[in-house]
Chain A
Amino acid sequence: AQKVTQAQTEISVVEKEDVTLDCVYETRDTTYYLFWYKQPPSGELVFLIRRNSFDEQNEISGRYSWNFQKSTSSFNFTITASQVVDSAVYFCALSPRRGGKLIFGQGTELSVKP
């Protein structure tokens, strides 16, 4: 089965706190891609990152970082020094080799309070 689980439905933090959004996936494919998208209140899904299953290097982009661990089938997303503008729903998604379509998790709603 192909599946993405984001166990945290809602997270609330205070500005400047670090926060980690969890993502666990299931697939039997050896080649797949993982994605994170941000959906602010305006509704548009904004692409954040795409990661190939063969590339387990962690990635950092400004205050954002991603931790890909194949051994635990996880692709977690950390925001350092969170800001109010980070408030949004964040989706993790899997694109397996077969079919190729994006399989989304349920999303995690992050609320950053001033």
Chain B
Amino acid sequence: ETGVTQTPRHLVMGMTNKKSLKCEQHLGHNAMYWYKQSAKKPLELMFVYSLEERVENNSVPSRFSPECPNSSHLFLHLHTLQPEDSALYLCASSQGTVQETQYFGPGTRLLVL
């Protein structure tokens, strides 16, 4: 069984839509992350949660809104996105936030029309 799952795997949305990405980890970890991976660009860390508290927010536009209801679940709520937000969104988890191995989910491929 995959340790970190993400749904949906693919998403197409218009600029006026509202959608949510879901991530679930089955590893008993305390930290969860959202990354954005655009074509030809390195991975960009968006948000970090540790024990359900947001500990990092890397200047992400407010049209991306994270939510971490418990240590196993992480959501990314999307609204009024732009075409340049089209990317692969990866979720990861780790035991702690300092120098721990991060385990990644399969990602959600998002296309904004």
- Measured CB to CB, the residues of A under 8 A from B are 31-33, 35, 37, 42-47, 50, 91, 95, 97, 100-102, 104-107
Contacts and interface: CB of A to CB of B under 8 A. Distances in A.
B53 interface: no
B60 interface: no
B88 A91 contact: no
A101 B43 contact: no
Interface stretch (B14-22, B68-76, B94-102): B94-102
Contacts of B103: 47
Given A91-B43, A101-B45, A104-B42, A32 B99 contact: yes
Give the secondary structure class of A's interface. loop
Number of chain B interface residues as a range: 20 to 34
A33 B95 CA distance: 15
Contact of B105 (A37, A44, A100, A107): A44
Contacts of B49: none
Contacts of A101: 45, 48, 56, 97
Contact of B101 (A32, A50, A106): A50
A45 B101 contact: no
A97 B42 contact: no
Contact of A45 (B42, B45, B90, B98): B90
A44 B99 contact: no
Given A43-B109, A45-B90, A107-B42, A102 B104 contact: no
Interface string B26-50: 0000000000000000110100100
B101 A35 contact: yes
Contacts of B107: 43-44
A58 B92 CA distance: 27
